[in-house]
A and B are shown apart, each in its own frame.
Chain A
Amino acid sequence: MAGSYDRALTVFSPDGHLFQVDYALEAVRKGSCAVGVRGTDVVVLGVEKKSVLKLQDERTVKKICMLDDHVCLAFAGLSADARVLINKARIECQSHRLTVEDSVSIEYITRYIAGVQQKYTQSGGVRPFGISTLIMGFDSDKVPKLYQTDPSGVYSAWKANSIGRSSKTVREFLEKNYKEDMSKAESIKLAIRSLLEVVQTGAKNIEIAIMGTDSIVQRLELAEIEAVVAEIEAENEKEKEKSKPSSSQ
């Protein structure tokens, strides 16, 4: 089966797989969960923050990064690979501004990142990047955008998506609960609710970044996240209360 076809990247298997790319996707599935939700005039990115070790300075562990003033990226998978890819993307954002005197569109930079990821699936002596990314932002048309890339170099736009650990569960949750034209508060609540499916330990392991039509990134404080979590838990309690009496009869 896998056998000798998974060693070199540039070799297809008889049934049309690039095993290295599949294995890279496995690496992504081991990474901490990230979720993105697109509302009417807002985009929300949420990540599961791994528990910070006692002696570690948590400010230096960044999972949501700015690529330019108006583009934000969250990733799942190998952090070191992410660092390299983000650096390339940042340089491309400024290079684009230098050559055409205009900021990148979200689709352009997503296409660029996906292009880099694809290049590394077709070269000799290199391995694919072990990360999937969620890229969000606003172009000059003031329409919210959310894109996803993965190690194979495929990219597409999404209304809401999740990557990383338990992404399938979270995506199913999003499919069930996503509504068109959500407000800022509703989008934030959906993002946090979907993350809570994965993150058992609550608000202190969740990081949220929001961008509105003004293209300014706002990171939520712990207190604000805790407030939304409390709201969600209260709603869950009410749901449980409602369903209890009917079952005891």
Chain B
Amino acid sequence: METLFGITGKDFVITAYDSKAVASITLMKIGENKSRELNPHTLMLFSGEPGDGVHFSEYIERNIKLYGIRNGIELSPRAVASFARRELADSLRSRKPYSVNLLIAGFDVKTNKPSLYWLDHLASLADVPFAAHGYGAYYCLSLLDRYHREDITEEEGIKLLQKCVGELRNRMILNMPDFVAKVVNKDGIRIVQL
């Protein structure tokens, strides 16, 4: 139900999430924030069980911030993803695991490369050029396969994301509200209009 997208380009990552909060058959809220800024150059999107998503992502957010304060330097996106994966793996082997799926988008300021990581509630971690979570993945991954290139610019990335959202509007039985899109690049994280 809850769809998350992530697309990397030449020097940025664009992410999008559908901003609706659902409780069984009712649409509770539009404009829900399904992302958390872990540090100035890393963004995490979450979907799955609503309470788990917020609880887990805020916990990761605070730990990443603590690392930054303790060491005076921000953790790289790869390290952030590994840390999150480890927490998910530990939770999986506990009495009640977190039921969250994540996309972690980051820009590594040391290597100047963008990166995107796909994590699911079974603690899988994949470093991917583009990714999606939720039913949207079934419709859009093939689109992304066809049109994505490693070196696309931000404008092309936004157009590609618009194509994906358009496809969902056409083919999904559920109404798709506006997606919120955020871009991560060397200047940080900002919202873009789709």
Question: What interface size band does chain B fall in?
Answer: under 10
Number of A-B contacts (CB under 8 A): 22
Which residues of chain B come closer than 8 Å to A98, judged between CB atoms?
Answer: 58-59, 62
Q: Nearest A residue to B59 by beta-carbon distance?
A: A98
Q: How far apart are the CA atoms of A69 and B39 in the complex, in Å? A: 13
Chain A nearest Cβ from B11, distance in angstroms: 27
Q: Is the CB of A93 within 8 A of B70?
A: no
Give per-residue flags for B89-123: 1 if the beta carbon is below 8 A from chain A beta carbons, else 0: 00000000000000000000000000000000000
Interface residues of A, Cβ cutoff 8 Å to B? 66-69, 87, 90-91, 93-95, 97-98
Q: How far apart are the CA atoms of A98 and B36 in the complex, in Å? A: 13
Which residues of chain A come closer than 8 Å to B59, judged between CB atoms?
Answer: 98
Q: How far apart are the CA atoms of A97 and B65 in the complex, in Å? A: 10
Which residues of chain A come closer than 8 Å to B70, judged between CB atoms?
Answer: 87, 90
Say whether B69 faces chain A, with CB atoms less than 8 Å apart. Answer: yes
Q: Nearest A residue to B63 by beta-carbon distance?
A: A94
Q: How far apart are the CA atoms of A93 and B67 in the complex, in Å? A: 12
Q: Is the CB of B69 within 8 A of A90?
A: yes
Chain B nearest Cβ from A72, distance in angstroms: 11
Which residues of chain A come closer than 8 Å to B62, judged between CB atoms?
Answer: 94-95, 97-98
Give per-residue flags for B55-87: 1 if the beta carbon is below 8 A from chain A beta carbons, else 0: 000110011011001101000000000000000
Chain B nearest Cβ from A23, distance in angstroms: 30
Which residues of chain B come closer than 8 Å to A90, judged between CB atoms?
Answer: 66, 69-70
Q: List 22 A-B contacts (CB under 8 A).
A: A66-B69, A66-B72, A67-B69, A68-B69, A69-B69, A87-B70, A90-B66, A90-B69, A90-B70, A91-B66, A93-B69, A94-B62, A94-B63, A94-B65, A94-B66, A94-B69, A95-B62, A97-B62, A97-B65, A98-B58, A98-B59, A98-B62
Which residues of chain B come closer than 8 Å to A93, judged between CB atoms?
Answer: 69
Q: How far apart are the CA atoms of A193 and B40 in the complex, in Å? A: 38
Q: How far apart are the CA atoms of A95 and B59 in the complex, in Å? A: 9
Q: How far apart are the CA atoms of A96 and B112 in the complex, in Å? A: 33
Which residues of chain A come closer than 8 Å to B66, judged between CB atoms?
Answer: 90-91, 94
Which residues of chain B come closer than 8 Å to A97, judged between CB atoms?
Answer: 62, 65
Chain B nearest Cβ from A190, distance in angstroms: 28
Q: How far apart are the CA atoms of A90 and B71 in the complex, in Å? A: 11
Q: How far apart are the CA atoms of A95 and B66 in the complex, in Å? A: 9
Q: How far apart are the CA atoms of A192 and B59 in the complex, in Å? A: 41
Q: Which of A93, A94, A97 has the most CB of B within 10 A?
A: A94
Q: How far apart are the CA atoms of A147 and B66 in the complex, in Å? A: 23
Q: Nearest A residue to B64 by beta-carbon distance?
A: A94
Chain B nearest Cβ from A118, distance in angstroms: 24
Q: Nearest B residue to A97 by beta-carbon distance?
A: B62
Chain B nearest Cβ from A174, distance in angstroms: 30
Q: How far apart are the CA atoms of A215 and B165 in the complex, in Å? A: 41
Chain B nearest Cβ from A82, distance in angstroms: 14
Chain A nearest Cβ from B128, distance in angstroms: 29
Which residues of chain A come closer than 8 Å to B63, judged between CB atoms?
Answer: 94
Interface set, chain B 14-63, CB cutoff 8 A to A: 58-59, 62-63
Interface set, chain B 117-176, CB cutoff 8 A to A: none
Q: How far apart are the CA atoms of A94 and B66 in the complex, in Å? A: 6
Q: Which of A68, A69, A98 has the most CB of B within 10 A?
A: A98
Q: Nearest A residue to B58 by beta-carbon distance?
A: A98
Which residues of chain B come closer than 8 Å to A94, judged between CB atoms?
Answer: 62-63, 65-66, 69
Q: How far apart are the CA atoms of A66 and B69 in the complex, in Å? A: 7
Q: How far apart are the CA atoms of A67 and B70 in the complex, in Å? A: 8
Which residues of chain B come closer than 8 Å to A67, judged between CB atoms?
Answer: 69
Chain A nearest Cβ from B61, distance in angstroms: 8
Q: How far apart are the CA atoms of A66 and B67 in the complex, in Å? A: 12
Q: How far apart are the CA atoms of A98 and B66 in the complex, in Å? A: 11
Which 3 A-B residue pairs are closest in the complex by CB-CB distance? A94-B62, A98-B62, A94-B66
Q: How far apart are the CA atoms of A235 and B72 in the complex, in Å? A: 38
Which residues of chain B come closer than 8 Å to A95, judged between CB atoms?
Answer: 62
Q: How far apart are the CA atoms of A69 and B69 in the complex, in Å? A: 8
Q: How far apart are the CA atoms of A97 and B36 in the complex, in Å? A: 14
